[in-house]
């Protein structure tokens, strides 16, 4: 691909904007591309370059120098990470910029701390090292610092996975079944899907394979009453509804009207008739209290740090802090306690996060079980095995990008005594 000065300038502007950390990176990129007239290849170049800086910010700063500006960090990413050579850049760069690139290429590798090698803030590196070896932390960091593939979930009410794979392949879109999720499809590229017939007809939704597995831990049955307690825009709600074959009653609770508004057109496309979205004021809303002890299955995909999604949201490692984690754990404790009151005797509760931190995961569950003798842990591996999913994850499910090829996820399966 020929690189223009406009593309370099766009990458520099976008890198500077993202490094302000004023809003989520994906929102900042969307706003920029709405305001600029750029082609799809230019947009991909700009986004990939700016995201490369977010992923490898600490290492790039050491390589380029502490005084390097955002534009120079973007150039360093192009040269030192994406492997562009001087000939590819010469027409796009001013003489002083090219001189800087030449000097950069001649620089030796700096000596790095462990946190710098992992491209993590010191506090996060320290917390991970308290739970794993340096070798394991670096392997995890390398997995988190790679771009994520694009995963789809086939809506089995409308299509079969093999049909979707065959259709995509016939259109030149390389696709294969996901390793674990029975309805998952992994694409080898990232085509625009918003106008694709498979998407418009409700046959597929974009959803990471790990996220799909959460539905199989809950394993709702036809005719049951089910609650997705933190539904958001409803990706897992749609999965649960399809698993229930559009029977029973599926409540999608969230505190945000805006997030739930995004669910409505998705439900319409999916063909589901059992989904009931409800905006609640909080975990103690009257609608929650009225359903106490009546629900067969409850999914709590808790608000969390999102540190398991760094492949997609690399800005989160620089935006989260020890203080924000402490606030999240308080919220997670309250939400799990409230959601548990919905579960009927013999019912199932799944607590999940997309975090890699123990205090957001087993720390929350262990404290909950210590305070709620009427709940017990089930083996996540056994729950999945009963559905033909071979995933040796032990008692609680822990997914990691460098091991499972998914985002980082945690989930515990809990059952209320009869």
The per-residue pLDDT for 263 is: 92
Nearest to 406 by CA among 137, 181, 128: 181
Q: Are 233 and 266 in contact (CB under 8 A)?
A: yes
Tell me, yes or no, if the pTM score tops 0.75: yes
CA dist 231 to 48, 277, 337, Å? 29, 9, 17
- State the Rg of the chain over Cα: 23
> What is the enclosing helix (H) or strand (E) of 100?
helix 95-106
pLDDT of 259 strictly over 80: yes
Model confidence at 85, in pLDDT bands (50, 70, 90)? confident
Q: How many CA atoms lie within 13 A of 1 on its CB side?
A: 13
User: Over the stretch 270-316, which tens digit does the pLDDT of each residue have?
Assistant: 999 999 999 998 878 888 889 999 999 999 999 999 999 999 999 99
The per-residue pLDDT for 248 is: 97
C-beta neighbour count of 34 within 10 angstroms: 7
279 is catalytic: no
User: Over the stretch 357-408, which tens digit does the pLDDT of each residue have?
Assistant: 999 999 999 999 999 999 999 999 999 999 999 998 889 999 999 999 999 9
State the DSSP code for 182: T
- How much of the chain is helix, strand and coil, in % rounded to 5? 50, 15, 35
CATH code linked to domain 150-206:
3.30.70.1170
The per-residue pLDDT for 1 is: 66
User: In the chain, which residues fall in CATH 3.30.70.1170?
Assistant: 150-206
Mean pLDDT of the chain: 94
Give me 265's structure tokens: 């057109």
The per-residue pLDDT for 298 is: 98
CA dist 338 to 6, 335, 412, Å? 52, 5, 16
Q: Of the ranges 8-12, 87-91, 95-99, 197-201, which one carries the lowest mean pLDDT score?
A: 87-91
Model confidence at 105, in pLDDT bands (50, 70, 90)? confident
Residue reference for tokens 């036809």: 222
CATH code linked to domain 209-416:
3.40.50.150
> What is the enclosing helix (H) or strand (E) of 164?
helix 161-170
How far apart CA 397 and CA 304 sit, in angstroms, is: 16
Interhelix angle 209-218/235-243, nearest 10 degrees? 50
Nearest to 144 by CA among 312, 325, 393: 312
- Please, which residues have CB within 8 angstroms of residue 209's CB and are 6 or more apart in sequence? 151, 178, 179, 180, 181, 184, 186, 404, 405, 406
Give the residues across from 253 on adjacent strands: 278
Give me 65's structure tokens: 């120098």
Q: Are 137 and 125 in contact (CB under 8 A)?
A: yes
Indicate which residue of 178, 230, 304, 354 is catalytic: 354
| Residues comprising the chain, all counted | 418
> Judging by beta carbons within 10 Å of its beta carbon (0-12, 13-18, 19+), is residue 401 exposed, middle or buried?
buried
How far apart CA 350 and CA 239 sit, in angstroms, is: 15
Phi, then psi, of 133 in degrees rounded to 5: -75, 165
- Reduced to 3 states (helix: H, G, I; strand: E, B; else coil), residue 290 is helix
Q: What angle do CA 236, 180, 393 make, to 5 degrees?
A: 95
For the four alpha carbons of 25, 27, 33 and 36, in that order, the dihedral sign comes to negative
User: In the chain, which residues fall in CATH 3.40.50.150?
Assistant: 209-416
User: Over the stretch 132-165, which tens digit does the pLDDT of each residue have?
Assistant: 999 999 999 999 999 999 999 999 999 999 999 9
* Alpha-helical runs (H) found in 285-409: 286-290, 316-319, 322-340, 362-371, 380-385, 401-404
Nearest to 250 by CA among 186, 296, 285: 296
For the four alpha carbons of 318, 231, 269 and 168, in that order, the dihedral sign comes to positive
How far apart CA 95 and CA 89 sit, in angstroms, is: 11
Q: How many CA atoms lie within 13 A of 316 on its CB side?
A: 19
Please give the torsion angle defined by the CA atoms of residues 261, 264, 267 and 269, in that order, rounded to the nearest 10 degrees: -110
């Amino acid at each position: 691909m020929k690189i223009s000065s406009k593309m370099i300038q766009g990458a520099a502007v976008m890198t500077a904007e993202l490094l302000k950390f004023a809003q989520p990176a994906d929102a900042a990129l969307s706003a920029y591309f709405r305001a600029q007239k750029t082609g799809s290849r230019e947009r991909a170049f700009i986004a990939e370059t700016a995201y490369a800086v977010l992923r490898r910010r600490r290492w790039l700063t050491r390589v380029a120098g502490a005084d390097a500006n955002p534009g120079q960090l973007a150039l360093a990413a192009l040269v030192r990470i994406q492997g562009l050579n001087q000939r590819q850049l010469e027409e796009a760069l001013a003489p002083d910029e090219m001189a800087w690139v030449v000097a950069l290429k001649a620089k030796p590798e700096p000596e790095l701390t462990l946190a710098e090698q992992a491209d993590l803030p010191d506090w996060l590196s320290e917390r991970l090292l308290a739970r794993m070896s340096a070798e394991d932390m670096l392997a995890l960091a390398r997995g988190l610092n790679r771009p994520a593939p694009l995963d789809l979930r086939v809506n089995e009410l409308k299509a079969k996975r093999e049909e979707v794979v065959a259709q995509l392949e016939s259109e030149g879109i390389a696709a294969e079944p996901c390793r674990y999720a029975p309805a998952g499809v992994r694409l080898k590229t990232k085509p625009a899907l918003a106008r694709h017939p498979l998407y418009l007809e409700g046959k597929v939704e974009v959803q990471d394979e790990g996220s799909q597995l959460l539905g199989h831990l809950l394993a709702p049955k036809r005719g049951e009453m089910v609650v997705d307690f933190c539904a958001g825009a409803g990706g897992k709600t749609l999965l649960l509804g399809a698993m229930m074959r559009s029977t029973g009653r599926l409540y999608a609770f969230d505190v945000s009207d805006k997030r739930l508004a995004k669910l409505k057109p998705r439900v319409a496309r999916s063909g589901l008739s059992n989904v009931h979205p409800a905006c609640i004021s909080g975990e103690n809303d009257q609608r929650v209290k009225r359903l106490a002890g009546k629900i067969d299955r409850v999914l709590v995909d808790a608000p969390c740090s999102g540190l398991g999604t760094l492949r997609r949201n690399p800005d989160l490692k620089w935006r989260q802090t020890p203080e924000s984690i402490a606030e999240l754990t308080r919220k997670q404790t309250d939400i799990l306690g409230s959601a548990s009151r919905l579960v009927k005797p013999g019912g199932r509760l799944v607590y999940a996060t997309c975090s890699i931190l123990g205090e957001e995961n087993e720390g929350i569950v262990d404290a909950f079980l210590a305070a709620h003798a009427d709940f017990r842990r089930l083996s996540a591996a056994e729950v999945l095995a009963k559905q033909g999913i071979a995933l040796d994850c032990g008692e609680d499910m822990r997914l990691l990008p460098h091991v499972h090829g998914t985002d980082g996820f945690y989930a515990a399966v809990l059952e209320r005594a009869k």
